[in-house]
Structure 1
Amino acid sequence: MENNFKMIAKTLYGLEDLLAKELQELGASSIEKGIRNVSFEGDTGFMYKANLCCRTAIKILKPIDYFNVFTEDDIYKKVYDIPWENYMTSDGSLAVNATVFSEVFTHSQYIALKTKDAIVDRFRDREGVRPDVDLDHPTLRINIHIDRNICTISLDSSGESLHKRGYKVSSALAPINEVLAAGILMLSGWRGQCDFLDPMCGSGTFLTEAAMIACNIPANLNRDEFGFETWPDFDEDLYEIIESASLKKIKDFHFKIVGYEIDPISIKKAKENVKNANLQDFIEIKEQNFFESKKEHDKYLHLVFNPPYDERLSVKNIEEFYGNIGNTLKHGYPGSQAWMITSNMDALKCVGLRPSQKIKLFNGKLEAKLVKYEMYSGSKKASKQ
């Protein structure tokens, strides 16, 4: 279409296929997968929709210029020449984020500083005043990306990272990123087709994301603001049309979503987060030790959880802890599908169950595995027959 432009959606390692599928289902065109990103085309309304609805995107960037750079002066001059007055005013504020993959340019913070200097110098030279720098709530967030000698300048339409959904008022120890949680749920095949259990729910991230997926609630409906809302060309009427159309696609959910947790403080935080997301009608949180539990019914059950890795959250005997996970699943949860993510590969061996699937992911900087266990009723052979 004539008004379409290129955008880049950033994501986490291992979620690229999911994000490409999300963008395709939302109506994007010219979709191309990269590493931790997916490029696509759409119009302004689609940019609003992608920010509102994408569960596995961290940022939606709008590139405005590409050029070759060989020295730091090249960066300054090329950035200076961009008509920044089209994107913000001198009484506004800016923040610059830089990522570099280059043998020539090695310090991302310095590149961000040179970019900021070029922008504010242009305003000062043209208007006699310069915009402020505000790293927390700027009028305009700018992304500079250097790959060897190719520099891309983009406007950050998201503002804060899209994993900050807006519903989480408090976190437990070692919380999982909301985008990673949604991605894990989608990789597990969760779509709201049965009862769901997170047996170690912490502050309730998996529970909340599971309910939002099951009910088709836009991922970022609870956010206070997106970056594009402070742009000079923000079309509030168009955004309200996009939001209204997305809300009409919300559906009801007729199964149970349950979380177990043994820490009273975490339970309180999880309930606060669920209430803040207006999902308390769909989610139940119980004070329950998973190792002393068993499946409450004969129906199929979908489990997803993030046990301690003995990294940020320590466990006295991590091998025994993971062994108890395997024993509890084997004896207490027949007729279930269990998925869990961990970065502790030695402890994972102590589960004592053979995973039917392993997927490499990263939880923050920790390389992790998402593993799937099929818990059959009776023997595996009998269940398949």
Structure 2
Amino acid sequence: MHDIKIIRKNPAAFDAAMARRGLSGISKAVLAIDSERRAAIAKAEAALTERNAASKQVGAAKASGDEAEFERLRALVGEKKAEIAALEDEAKAKDAELRDMLMGLPNLPDNNVPDGADEDDNVEIKRWGNPRNFAFDAKEHYELAAVQDGMDFETAAKLSGSRFVVMSGAVARVHRALSQFMLDLHIDKHGLQETNVPVLVREEMMYGTGQLPKFGEDSYKTTDGWWLIPTAEVPLTNIVNGEVVDEATLPRRHVAHTLCFRSEAGSAGRDTSGMLRQHQFEKVEMVSITHPDESAAEHDAMTRRAEAILEALELPYRTVVLCTGDLGFGMKKTHDIEVWLPGQNMYREISSVSVAGDFQARRMNARFKPAAGGKPEFVHTLNGSGVAVGRCLIAVLENGQNEDGSVTLPAALHPYLGGKTGISAEGKLA
């Protein structure tokens, strides 16, 4: 959420930043509501002053025996009381209107985020590994003989509908091994704190990280008001919701492995084959809560942590900076990491690592107490996949495929599979 004081102070700069998001003249509408809200508050305060003055005079009029003046003042007190109540209601209504408007506005892009209309204007900043040259036509993950018995979309459709999968046998075990490997690397090498969080959250938590009010259709809401998390970013970030933490405790770095749920409302017809885009999936998510001066450096460090997963698994990837037209609603800057999928002959997103600045912190009222003293300040929040487990499974299967339909698995996974090094064409760990 945005600070109304900053918009008042420099509306032109705010409009210029919003224009990079494709929104024009925003400050005029915001400041008009703010002006009406402040006017109602000022009128209420003036009426309160008049009522207090009249209240003091009522007693004097009664004591002097001036019945006419007494009745006039008593009526005035009643009128002012009703006027104050009406003005306070108006101020509250305008305050709610202003808050709703600010809640619906996206974050301001960082100055070094490239301008652009969509994903075609994203800027590549790194490429690692060389895509393998196959002596045969590479297949997509769901076409491989090794996964035919272990990746069942028909049974999943019977159970739950489209965009679900039932995994079993070797495929399920490799999927589990990947999540365990990711957690261990982030905890043991990167020093993140493993955190186990609920996958059902209160509505205010979804507001805190920016999924609501604008993107409610992208998530699932239960009949009793809880929301299924679209990513562990929601509960992990909201751990500091409403808190004032000591500066000495920053940065706080969390990692969690959870189920995630997305309705995929805006992706009808996209990636309908295989398990690339599912309603239910698993991710290993990283969240950092930092001092404002450290968030840019933390963003780069988090990106390296996600990249390290792919490098350890010997998966070629590229990293891009999202342009303004592709930037997420609540983020100032985002690095997308795209893994090479030979079955599609293209790079596909496997992780987004983003810095929100104080945008989420304002929505959550999450602050820190400066060690040097002074008023509490808003923390900065960051999040990133470390990485999407299902998509990582796809990449491992496709990059390790052999002509006979078997799959050779990366060495980093062997200790998690009892020393097994691959999946046979018959779907068994071998």
Higher strand share: 1
What TM-score results when the alignment is normalised by the length of structure 1? 0.22
What TM-score results when the alignment is normalised by the length of structure 2? 0.20
- Greater relative contact order (CA < 8 Å, ≥ 6 in sequence): 2
